[in-house]
Amino acid sequence: MALSSYGYVALAVEASLRSLPSRLEDAAAILGADWQARFRYILLPLLLPAILNSGLLVFLEALSNFGVPAVLGTRSNLPLLPAEIFYLVTSWPVDIALATSLSTLLCLFALISLYTSRWLSVRGGKAAFRPSVSKEFQLSRWWQCASWGWFASLFALAVLLPYAAMLFTSLASSFGQATSELTLRHYTGIFSPGSRGLSALWTSTWLSFFAATFCIFAGGFVAYVNVRSKGPYNNL
């Protein structure tokens, strides 16, 4: 769950870094500040809103994630909130009251996290700068190798290994047997006309498209109001 969500933080912090002027760091370096002091007293306070907001997205996604807890959590005897809500309303005896209570807690956690993030961002300070030309630092040969090794390991853990495992499992004729053969009959069944897999794929695609379109307009309006409005709709 963490490996699938770290991109939110990476993209948000990268965008904020590109918008920060380098003159602040240059002035601090002229006055004798080392890179640790520049990071602690200049970069970190200015990046705090982006870090908190992207961290909030990761927290809310992990908190409300259903797929991973439903598939892996129950097998590991690890009950998580979304999966428990689902089982309470789909398993006998159905307990709507308890499921509603857990759903209320889920919404409450989301609201508390949202306003805590806003409060910390305000306390951390706000600043608007014009984008500047990014400064490149030449790494030594050892640090270049270490950087490539780090990103290669991260790519292998986040992309290669999960997809390789899913691909091998999808091609196995029977799961859990050492003598299992590789076959394409599962994919043939998915893309057969009238199959439930093809219907689910089409439904998920168009629902996701309309959801993304709605969120673009709604989220863009909320962002515009939060930044430009001084009225009662601010901090929407």
pLDDT digits (tens, 9 = 90+) for 82-125: 777 787 788 788 777 777 777 777 777 777 877 777 777 666 55
Decide which of 108 and 224 is more confident. 108
pLDDT tens, residue by residue, 4-51: 777 778 888 888 887 887 788 888 889 888 888 888 888 888 888 888
Q: pLDDT above 90 covers what percent of the chain?
A: 2
pLDDT tens, residue by residue, 157-199: 877 887 787 777 777 776 655 566 777 777 777 777 877 767 7
* Predicted local distance difference test score (pLDDT) of residue 5: 76
Question: Hey, where are the domains in the chain?
Answer: 1-137
* Predicted local distance difference test score (pLDDT) of residue 149: 93
Q: Is the pTM of this model over 0.85?
A: no
* Predicted local distance difference test score (pLDDT) of residue 135: 62
Q: What are phi and psi of 195, to 5 degrees?
A: -75, 155
Please determine, for residue 129, whether its predicted confidence score (pLDDT) is greater than 50: no
Q: Are 180 and 172 in contact (CB under 8 A)?
A: yes
For 22, 75, 200, 224, the CA distances from 19, given in Å and listed in that order, are 9, 45, 41, 18
**Helices 81-90 and 44-64: angle between axes, nearest 10 degrees:** 20
For 21, 46, 72, 136, 200, the CA distances from 133, given in Å and listed in that order, are 8, 17, 46, 10, 46
The mean pLDDT value for 149-153 works out to 90
Picking from 166, 205, 193, 198, the residue whose alpha carbon sits closest to that of residue 72 is 166
Nearest-5° Cα angle at 64, 100 to 56: 125
DSSP states of the chain: --TTTHHHHHHHHHHHHHHS-THHHHHHHHTT--HHHHIIIIIHHHHHHHHHHHHHHHHHHHHH--HHIIIIITTTT---HHHHHHHHHHSSSP-HHHHHHHHHHHHHHHHHHHHHHHHHHHHH--------PPPP-PPPHHHHHHHHHHHHHHHIIIIIHHHHHHHHHHHBSSTT-TTPPB-SHHHHHHTSTT-HHHHHHHHHHHHHHHHHHHHHHHHHHHHHHHHH--STTTT-
Architecture of the domain delimited by 1-137: Orthogonal Bundle (1.10)
Q: What are phi and psi of 182, to 5 degrees?
A: -90, 135
Which residue type, as a one-letter code, is found at position 155? F
